[in-house]
Amino acid sequence: KTPAWAGRPDAAARQGTPGVPALRSPMGSPPAAKPQRPLGSAAVEPATRSGRPRTPSSDAPKPSARPLSAVTLLARRLSFARAMTVEMPRQQQNLRAIRVLQEGDKIYDFYSWDKVLQEEGNGGKVVVCRPKAPGGQTNADFVMKIRSKAQLRETCLEDQFRRVQERMLNLPPHPGVVPIHEVLEDETFFYVVMEKARGGSLFGSLVSDFNDGCMPASAVKQVMHDIFEAVVHVHKQGMLHRDIKPDNLVVQTHIGSSDGPPAASKRVMLIDFDHADPDWNADSKGEESGEVFGTLRFNAPEALLGTFLPQGDLYSIGVILYLLMTGRFPFAEDVYSECAEEGIPSRCRRNVVHRRMQEASVDFEGSPWPDQPACKDLCRRLLAFEVCDRPASAQEALKHEWFGQNSLEGARNASLHPLQ
């Protein structure tokens, strides 16, 4: 697992590969809660602090003494009705909610587990669990993430975590996003139960598939296509992931039914929306905030300064593409040295890394780039320092010529780099 920055600066924990920390907590004071409004909703009349609609002030302009025509009056009424109407999601009547465990109930009353995937860390404890049925437990395996409310409160992220889980519970299904089975909570923990990916982690699956250590270009293209499609869906739902990296990608296997022997197909899926922005608005200008999320080596330059945009997710995908094609990160270790120590780096240190990323150049001359010009062009655009130089959206990236070329292009030469 990629190590992460989490909690307060004096309570950060590190794990895994050195120098690849994840940014978990907001800097400075807690951010003000963003107003929640269903996607596609219309504006509503402002309200007073009591929550009741404002009443016309006494000094408002007096209506004209001239009588209004029936057409004008009807038009005004329709306009007012539109202004006061909030479009509700189609599933509004069937919205799923976090299940609160009643006093005396324990999570062990509903789920059992004996396999632990992760003991403790920034993402909390992770186990493989099975739900308990009235007559005993079922055979269905799920993955449960157990998050401490106390840790979330220390970093002022409990409310955001709750909003993210509520959004994920009601996210329209997509084959590229691992669905949430249910979310439970008690006074101490959140329990996020999700579908188990039978293919395991992305890199684990790739090493298993290409045990000679060589990954063909066609396989890289399929992986990237799956990731982009998942991100298209997430962005369309008004969310930013903000922490796309190999650790947050898994592979789901599906057994196809056909006349011949059963054939298994694989699909890369996006998981772990703990850092997501659940209330992202397409009209947002991406202003800087005091919040820092994500994982350092996968963060876009502007994310280090607290600015999060759809193009930031695309930058993270660009880092993954560069890794798969070359076996190394786009930038050397010394670019991030200011932020490599434990704890959340100060704004000053992040500014230093931001400047170094601007001054450094990514190597696109070495192998395998000369033999993969279309892929090189896409990766270069994804890793552009300036937001305006990247694709405007994941949909635009999917229209790049690299995806339009023969999927077997480059497969003859096969190896791009040895998988580590």
Is the distance from CB of 1 to CB of 118 less than 8 angstroms?
A: yes
pTM of the model: 0.75
What tens digit of pLDDT does each residue of 238-254 get? 999 999 999 999 999 97
The whole-chain average pLDDT of the chain stands at 79
| Residue where one domain finishes, among candidates 146, 171, 195 | 195
Asked if residue 112 is part of any domain, the answer here is yes
Asked if residue 182 and residue 217 are part of one domain, the reply reads: no
Section 62-71 average pLDDT = 53
Asked if residue 303 and residue 229 are part of one domain, the reply reads: yes
Section 387-395 average pLDDT = 97
Q: CA of 197: how far to CAs of 141, 251, 303, in Å?
A: 10, 6, 29
Section 127-154 average pLDDT = 87
Asked if residue 18 is part of any domain, the answer here is no
Asked if residue 214 and residue 127 are part of one domain, the reply reads: no
Asked if residue 275 and residue 220 are part of one domain, the reply reads: yes
Asked if residue 119 is part of any domain, the answer here is yes
Asked if residue 251 and residue 215 are part of one domain, the reply reads: yes
Calculate what percentage of the chain has a pLDDT beyond 90.
56
Residue 183: which CATH number?
3.30.200.20
pLDDT at 41 over 60: no
Asked if residue 234 and residue 190 are part of one domain, the reply reads: no
pLDDT at 17 over 50: no
Give pLDDT, residue 408: 38
Task: To the nearest 10°, report the CA torsion of 118, 172, 162, 275.
Answer: 60
| Residue where one domain finishes, among candidates 195, 222, 246 | 195
**269, β-bridge pairs:** 250
Section 21-32 average pLDDT = 45
Task: To the nearest 10°, report the CA torsion of 386, 389, 390, 392.
Answer: 110
| Residue where one domain finishes, among candidates 139, 167, 195 | 195
Asked if residue 42 is part of any domain, the answer here is no
Domain that holds residue 272: 200-413
Percent helix, percent strand, percent coil in the chain, to nearest 5: 35, 15, 50
Q: How far apart are CA 375 and CA 225, in angstroms?
A: 12
Structure tokens at 22: 């994840």
Asked if residue 378 and residue 231 are part of one domain, the reply reads: yes
* Structure-model confidence comparison of residues 63 and 393, the more confident one: 393
DSSP per position, 224-288: HHHHHHHHHHHHHTT-B----SGGGEEEEEEEE--SSS-EEEEEEEE---TT-BTT--TT-----
Asked if residue 12 is part of any domain, the answer here is no
SS3 271: coil
Asked if residue 178 is part of any domain, the answer here is yes
Section 199-220 average pLDDT = 90
Asked if residue 186 and residue 216 are part of one domain, the reply reads: no
Section 21-50 average pLDDT = 45
- Report the number of distinct structural domains present in the chain: 2
Asked if residue 87 is part of any domain, the answer here is no
